[in-house]
A and B are shown apart, each in its own frame.
Chain A
Amino acid sequence: MSADPSVPPAALSGEVRMPEKLADVEPVRSVRTPIRLEYDFVPGEASAGYLNAFADRKILGQRSPVDGAVLVPPRGVDPRHGAATPEYVELPDTGHVGGFCVTRLPIPGRDDLEIPYVSAWIHLDGADIGFLGLVAGIATSEVRMGMRVRAVWKPDEQLGRTAENILYWAPTGEPDIPVTAAGTNAWHAKQAAKEQG
Chain B
Amino acid sequence: MAERLRADLVLEYPFTRTTGPVIGAFLTGLREGIILGIRRPDGTVLCPPTEYDPETSEPLTELVEVGPQGELESWTWVDPPRSQSPWDQPHGLGLIRLDGADTPMIHGLLVDHPGELFSGMRVVAQWRSERGGHIADLEGFSPQESPGTGQ
Q: Which residues of A pack against B, CB within 8 Å?
A: 1, 9-19, 21-22, 25-43, 48, 51-52, 108-109, 161
Contacts and interface: CB of A to CB of B under 8 A. Distances in A.
Contacts of A109: 10, 12
A42 B57 contact: no
B57 to A, nearest CB: 7
A138 to B, nearest CB: 30
Contacts, number: 135
A42 B5 contact: yes
Nearest to A10: B59
Contacts of A42: 4-6
A40 B6 contact: yes
Given A35-B12, A35-B13, A28 B7 contact: no
B19 A22 contact: no
Interface in B13-42: 13-25, 27-29, 31-32, 34, 36
Given A18-B25, A22-B34, A40-B7, A30 B64 contact: no
Given A28-B28, A38-B8, A108-B14, A11 B63 contact: no
A21 B63 CA distance: 12
B142 to A, nearest CB: 24
B100 to A, nearest CB: 11
Contacts of B2: 48, 52, 161
Contact of B22 (A11, A26, A29, A52): A11
A28 B27 CA distance: 6
7 contacts: A18-B25, A22-B25, A33-B15, A38-B83, A39-B8, A40-B8, A48-B2
B11 A27 contact: no
A35 B65 CA distance: 30
A174 to B, nearest CB: 35
B60 to A, nearest CB: 6
B21 A31 contact: no
B118 interface: no
Interface string B38-66: 00000000000001100001111111110
